[in-house]
A and B are shown apart, each in its own frame.
Chain A
Amino acid sequence: MKIELSREKVHNDFSKKVEWISGQNLFACYQCGNCTAGCPVAFAMDIGPHEVIRYTLLGLEEEALSANTYWLCASCLQCSSRCPKGIDIARVMDALRMIILRKKERKDYIQISEFPEGFLEKVPQIAFISGFRKFLS
């Protein structure tokens, strides 16, 4: 992919929004990939967390938001704990989730009506409560 860089592009509104919600400085990221290397669910991600950060900094909002990366994040904080630049990456993933869930269209990641039969009886409350907070607007 050929990307043209400009000052405006790098200091884009999308990355500012992610920084505001997450409270993190994305510019600290030097793309070492430690977050992706230690991520327990990276095997199922379209792109790694470090790539999502790069896309965000380049103002490639659509590319960053169309990846499944931040939906798959389980907030286990392994990346945040290991980031050599002190970025709380789990917060960045949550900020991306929030950007989608706070939009007018309210595109929820899960639909309660689609749960298979017996699912509600089987799964413990904590899974539902935390899941609903992460996946529903």
Chain B
Amino acid sequence: MNYLYFPGCTLYTKAKNFDQTARNCSLLLGFELVELPNWTCCGATFPLATDNLMALLPPARILARAKEQGETLTTLCAICFNVIKRTNHLLQKDSEKREKINQFIEMNYQGDLKVLHYLEILKQEIGFSTIQEKVKKPLKELQAAPYYGCMLLRPFEEMGFDDKERPTLFEEFLTALGARSVDFPYKIECCGSFQSVGTPEVATECAYRILTSAMRQGAEVVVSTCPLCTFNLDQKQSDILKAHLDFKTIPVLYFTQLLGVAMGLDPQTLGFEQNAVDPIPLLKRKGLI
């Protein structure tokens, strides 16, 4: 089975490990991510000003091009997923804006594509029980904290991914890999997002709260679905150390990296060199690599 795939800018550079591990794991699970030809940046924010149609053009164009190739479009990055899915929803519901945008991009897209996240494919198409059967190295004893962040879940009416306050999909995924999923109160809190360029110290504080909340519940690793969350939670730990003397570092992994470990992929291909806090000592201690 093939899925049309939109990688997004960051997965080509700062989050290559996210992209590569997802592609490799999909082959082991019996499906392939086929890259959308001629894709562009999605714009990285869904415009909240209702009169800003310009910011809807890139995601609308992406959707229109994807529709020429198939019926679904899959993303990995939570921000791309949010922007593309919300734009799709708007094009479905608002015929006036749809017409304006279609005229501008000189295409005719009606909003009838299905936008999927990789985790949704794993759950709905492959099934967590199948994944469980294919796990070669169960992540036994590994206490993993599923960090959802905002973009997968909100707004619930448009994303429809999981419950907006108490989601469970990510926990089910981690349990299927054999890990112990750690519930923590900050799992749906914002990481500070683009404030890392606006007011970086605010994003640092958000990351500190999330990570310490996870550690207080016993987490040994935090698992993420978004390159921006990962930047704020992982790369900014050096800034957290400067601001909070009591802070202890904790590895942050993409869920696909952890999937790769469980599927028995060669650790050399899991892109750990791009993680700021080295997860290798932890994974070795647990006998996983």
Contact = CB atoms under 8 A, between A and B. Distances in A.
Q: Do A and B bind each other?
A: yes
Given A76-B154, A124-B10, A126-B9, A131 B49 contact: no
Contacts of B44: 125-126, 129-130, 133
Interface residues of B, number: 45
A15 to B, nearest CB: 16
Interface in B184-206: 188-190, 192-199, 201-203, 205-206
A61 interface: no
A40 B205 CA distance: 10
Interface in A119-137: 122-135
A31 interface: no
Interface string B190-230: 10111111110111011001000000000000000001100
Interface stretch (A1-9, A51-59, A89-97): A89-97
B8 interface: yes
Contact of B79 (A43, A123, A126): A126
A109 interface: yes
B51 interface: yes
Interface in A21-72: 21-23, 40-41, 43-44, 71-72
B150 A78 contact: yes
A44 B77 CA distance: 28
A27 B120 CA distance: 38
Given A21-B51, A41-B192, A124-B13, A129 B43 contact: yes
Contact of B48 (A20, A22, A44, A131): A22
Contact of B77 (A20, A23, A126): A126
Contact of A128 (B193, B195, B197, B199): B197
Contact of A71 (B150, B193, B198, B227): B198
A134 B164 CA distance: 25
A125 B194 CA distance: 10
A123 B199 contact: no
Contacts of A88: 48, 155
A110 B150 CA distance: 24
Nearest to B15: A124
B214 to A, nearest CB: 15
B150 A129 contact: no
Contacts of B268: none
8 contacts: A20-B51, A98-B49, A110-B197, A124-B13, A125-B9, A126-B9, A126-B194, A126-B228
